[in-house]
Amino acid sequence: MRVVILGSGRGSNAEAILSAQRAGKLGRARVVQILADQPEAGILALGARFGVPAAFVDPAPFKTKLEGEGEVRFIAAVKAAAPDLVVLAGFMRVLKPGFLNAFAGKIINLHPSLLPSFPGLDGIGQAFRRGVKLTGCTVHGVTAEVDGGPILDQMAVRIEAGDTLETLAAKVHAAEHALLPAVIARLSD
């Protein structure tokens, strides 16, 4: 199963996927391309470290969504890698129908909450401020509804009395790093 990873930031979830691949724990999945919408994104450095092509794709003209010329460029770059699965690992753009239709049924996302609770930005902060006792992360199929696609799997994280936003974020990120590669491996079977 050919996997393309899209990201915007430092790439810790992509690194977890690539580390699982290196350790032989990604099933029949193989990451064939890393694409970023930020030219200085840390995720791009993972390409050289793990022997996977990595490239910046200009997402202009919009800041928070993939539309217009930027969407056309991303569709072309992803299609060139012939993916069976497109993984959004910290990709901070809303996908529009052109991209969704080009890869229908092949896109998954990792979200830092137990969806349907706390969709959108800052899922960890939302859960922390709300005072819930259980949060976590979700891998879901991507649809036109932001964070509303079918849930593929979840991992719970307990919020303890002494947790700060920082300690909670660290626990959720650890859960993400375990869950996302496990889901990809399962989908590759």
pLDDT in tens, 139-153: 999 999 989 999 999
Looking at residue 110, its pLDDT comes to 96
In the set 111, 140, 173, 177, the catalytic residue is: 111
Place of tokens 């909670």: 168
Domain topology for 2-188: Rossmann fold (3.40.50)
Of the candidates 136, 162, 178, 147, the residue with the CA atom closest to the CA atom of residue 12: 178
Domains of the chain by residue range = 2-188
Residues 55, 35: contact at Cβ < 8 Å? yes
Please indicate whether residue 177 is annotated as part of the active site: no
Looking at residue 76, its pLDDT comes to 97
Those residues of the chain that have pLDDT short of 50 are: none
Determine the Cα–Cα distance for residues 177 and 169; give it in Å rounded to an integer.
12
Looking at residue 63, its pLDDT comes to 81
Alpha-carbon Rg for the chain, nearest whole angstrom, is 16
